Amino acid sequence: MWVSHRAGPADEPPTPEQMHHWHRRMSPPENEFPAGVGLTALIGRTDEAAVGITQIEAYSTGFQFTLAVRLRQARPNRARGGLFMLISSHAHPGIEIPLEDRLLLGIEYSDGRRASTLKNMRMLGPAAMADGGQLVLVGQGGGGGEQSVHQTYWVSPLPPEGPVTFVLAWPAFGMPESRTVLHAAVIRAAADRTQQLWPPQPAVQSAEPPPPPRPTSGWFAEPPD
């Protein structure tokens, strides 16, 4: 998983503690086995397309779900991965996707905290997670074909008691802004069933790769200052 290593305004490298906290916020804990919530929800539907939430799994630090998209018929202008680009929260270099074509997804907790796919949380850097309370919504893996695609999302922290509101808007496919409410109690109850496999392990710092070999003579033989 790619992450920004910006630690703050001074661009100081993040501390090991910041990086550990960052990874715990940006992805499911690797030392836990999740518990299934047992819910699915169809959050948007027309005669030609449908959007739903499946495979909700809870951890001690948040929950994960899969956004599933289905089209009645393939659209020629969305062939070869074009449909997935509309739902992916990742930027695609050299490809400009109009806002009205994109599937927009957001989450709001009962205490007013909100997050959406319009903001790439990974770009904020470890220092932005210092308070531990900011709601995080980040895309994980995904894929699919011309009529069916999916995208997994990670949400952290766990929701407080009350409603968990999923907000969807996809004007290009006839879906105006709408809200679907789930109850935090079922997610929190599943989190209590999470199994810790072993204590959290310290992050392994990757060794700096060695420089490529240089010619023994000529301009390229001398390294730059």
Query: Is 9 a domain residue?
Result: no
pLDDT given for residue 127 in this prediction: 63
Range of the domain at 62: 23-221
Question: Tokens for 85?
Answer: 């680009």
pLDDT at 128: 62
Residue 9 has pLDDT above 60, yes or no: no
For residues 51 and 17, which has the higher predicted lDDT (pLDDT)? 51
Q: Is position 1 within any domain?
A: no
Q: Is the pLDDT score of 214 beyond 50?
A: yes
Return d(Cα 43, Cα 193) in angstroms, integer: 26
- Three-class SS of residue 55? strand
133-153 burial, b at 16+ Cβ within 10 Å, e below that, comes to eebbbbbeebebebeebbbbb
**Residue 12 in domain:** no
Q: How much is the average pLDDT of 1-17?
A: 57
Identify the helix (H) or strand (E) that includes residue 52.
strand 49-58
The answer to the question of residue 2 being in a domain is no
Q: How many residues does the chain have?
A: 225
* Within-domain flag for 89: yes
Q: What is the pLDDT of residue 200?
A: 86
Region 149-169: mean pLDDT is: 96
List the one residue out of 165, 153, 158, 146 whose CA is nearest residue 43.
165
The token duo for 154 is: 């990670």
> What is the distance between the terminal CA atoms of the chain, rounded to a whole angstrom?
32
Q: Whole-angstrom Cα distance, residue 75 to residue 186?
A: 37
In a domain, 18, yes or no: no
Q: Are 51 and 43 in contact (CB under 8 A)?
A: yes
Among 8-12, 27-31, 147-151, 156-160, the least confident range: 8-12
Nearest Cα neighbor of 146 from 214, 194, 85, 63 is 85
**Number of structural domains found in the chain:** 1
50 vs 65: CA distance, rounded Å: 16
Mean pLDDT over each residue of the chain, to the nearest integer = 84
Token digits of residue 5 = 């290593």
Looking at the domain assignment, is residue 4 inside a domain?
no
pLDDT tens for 52-91 read 999 999 999 999 999 999 999 887 655 455 788 888 765 5
More confident residue, 9 or 67: 67
Give tens-digit pLDDT for 88-120: 765 555 567 788 888 999 999 999 999 999 887
The pLDDT tens digits for 122-148 are 666 676 655 668 899 999 888 888 889
Longest dimension (CA), the chain: 70
21-30, 48-57, 157-166: which has the minimum mean pLDDT? Answer: 21-30
pLDDT of residue 32: 97
Domain-embedded: residue 65:
yes
